[in-house]
Amino acid sequence: MSFPTPLVTRFAPSPTGLLHLGHAYSALFASAAVRSNGRFLLRIEDIDRGRCRPEFETALMEDLAWLGLEWERPPRRQSEHMDDYREAIGRLAARDLIYPCFCTRKEILAEIAGMGSAPHGPDGPLYPGTCRHLSGERRRRRLEEGDPFALRLDIRRAIAATGPLSWTDRGRGTVEAAPHIFGDVVLARKDTPASYHLAVSVDDHLQGVTLVCRGEDLFPSTHVHRLLQALLGLDTPEYHHHPLIAGEDGQRLAKRTHAPTLRSLREGGATPEDIRRRLGFSGPG
Ligand code: GLU
């Protein structure tokens, strides 16, 4: 007799502000995906210590509980797992797939301006690869001098190491991975052992996530996550990138478009059921 494998999904907010309706949609979407057969996890993405605040973490858990969501305790807090990310970086370094980049933002922009036409990726112009060509001696000297640096993935070597990759998206079917669109993406910095891309790939694996539900805005990032999974021997979950919901003015709901926070809606008298109905998730779960 065979039993269906339970789905494991997660909601992974960064505690940099109060949750708004867009977050509520994403959390409800993920929770609904596993309602009858699966586990719903919470991950606090607090690697960026400068922008994350404990009070926002407390607030987001209160808001999710108020909405009626239940997640497995305790949540995974990225700031408590820096060693996991360091270990992953160490493995990439051992295979010579990453290199330190000492360029400042200003230097990168100047270099790009001098190039005339520079290829662009989802986050803007691609890094021109300046530090990829530094000699071993020069690298060593700059590291010894204590210069700040970012660790970049040598995307060409990485792709050559894995060959073609794909993943399954519930909305789009089989997607061929195209990680080169990000160029030599940053995976860590001198004082931060992981970028978003690295931490998410490692965490989804370690948390046993089998279905990643998240907004369409993160769809391009999955190209890089798929590559990191292959390089690091991590499991590849299924994905479901959901459409982003728009406010009454048609604008995408986000912090910068002043989407209403769950807190303000609640203070204005909205009930959890009102929010669920407004977002199309009526009923328990
Ligand atoms: N922490 C990310 C965000 O708040 C979400 C990451 C993910 O779901 O992969 O946008």
| pLDDT tens-place string over residues 196-246 | 999 999 999 999 999 999 999 999 999 999 999 999 999 999 999 999 988
According to the model, what pLDDT value does residue 118 have?
Answer: 82
The count of domains in the chain is: 2
User: For residue 43, what is the domain's CATH number?
Assistant: 3.40.50.620
CA torsion sign for 16, 87, 219, 8 is negative
* Claim to verify: residue 31 and residue 92 sit in the same structural domain: no
Nearest-angstrom CA–CA distance, 122 and 94: 28
* Residue from 142, 157, 255, 278 carrying the catalytic annotation: 255
Residue 273 lies in a domain: yes
Q: pLDDT band at 191, cuts 50/70/90?
A: confident
* Claim to verify: residue 62 and residue 134 sit in the same structural domain: no
pLDDT(285) > 60:
no
* Claim to verify: residue 276 and residue 191 sit in the same structural domain: no
Is the pTM higher than 0.85? The answer reads: yes
Query: Is 255 in the active site?
Result: yes
* Claim to verify: residue 89 and residue 73 sit in the same structural domain: no
Last residue of a domain, one of 206, 228, 263: 206
The tokens of 262 are what? 């769950």
Atom of ligand 1 nearest to the CA of 204: 9
* Claim to verify: residue 52 and residue 86 sit in the same structural domain: no
What residues flank ligand 1, with Cβ below 6 Å? 12-14, 45, 200, 214, 218
Task: Give the Å distance between the CA of 26 and the centre of ligand 1.
Answer: 10
Q: Nearest residue CA, atom 4 of ligand 1?
A: 13
Q: Identify which of 221, 217, 241, 218 has the alpha carbon closest to the alpha carbon of residue 229.
A: 221
Last residue of a domain, one of 180, 206, 232: 206
* Claim to verify: residue 70 and residue 109 sit in the same structural domain: no
Three-state SS across 110-154? Answer: HHHHHCCCCCEECCEECCCCHHHHCCHHHHHHHHHCCCCCEEEEC
Residue 121 lies in a domain: yes
* Claim to verify: residue 114 and residue 71 sit in the same structural domain: no
Test site for ligand 1: of 16, 42, 196, most ligand atoms within 8 A of the Cβ: 196
Taking only the tens place, the pLDDT of each residue in 43-61 is: 999 999 899 999 999 999 9
Q: Which domain holds residue 264?
A: 1-80+246-285
Q: Nearest residue CA, atom 2 of ligand 1?
A: 13
Nearest-angstrom CA–CA distance, 178 and 219: 11
Residue 184 lies in a domain: yes
H helix intervals, the chain: 21-33, 54-67, 82-94, 105-114, 136-144, 155-162, 196-206, 219-232, 262-267, 272-279
Residues near 239 by beta carbon (within 8 Å), at least 6 away in sequence: 167, 168, 169, 170, 211, 212, 213, 214, 222
User: For residue 146, what is the domain's CATH number?
Assistant: 3.90.800.10
Taking only the tens place, the pLDDT of each residue in 65-112 is: 999 999 999 999 999 999 999 999 999 999 999 999 999 999 999 999
**Complete DSSP assignment for 51-82:** T--HHHHHHHHHHHHHHT---PSSPEEGGG-H
According to the model, what pLDDT value does residue 237 have?
Answer: 98
Q: Nearest residue CA, atom 6 of ligand 1?
A: 12
* 115, amino acid identity: M
pLDDT(250) > 90:
no
Task: Give the Å distance between the CA of 36 and the centre of ligand 1.
Answer: 24
The tokens of 174 are what? 């089989």
Q: Nearest residue CA, atom 5 of ligand 1?
A: 12
According to the model, what pLDDT value does residue 256 have?
Answer: 65
Atom of ligand 1 nearest to the CA of 10: 8
Percent of the chain at pLDDT above 70?
A: 95
Q: pLDDT band at 1, cuts 50/70/90?
A: low
Nearest-angstrom CA–CA distance, 94 and 88: 10
Residue 14 lies in a domain: yes
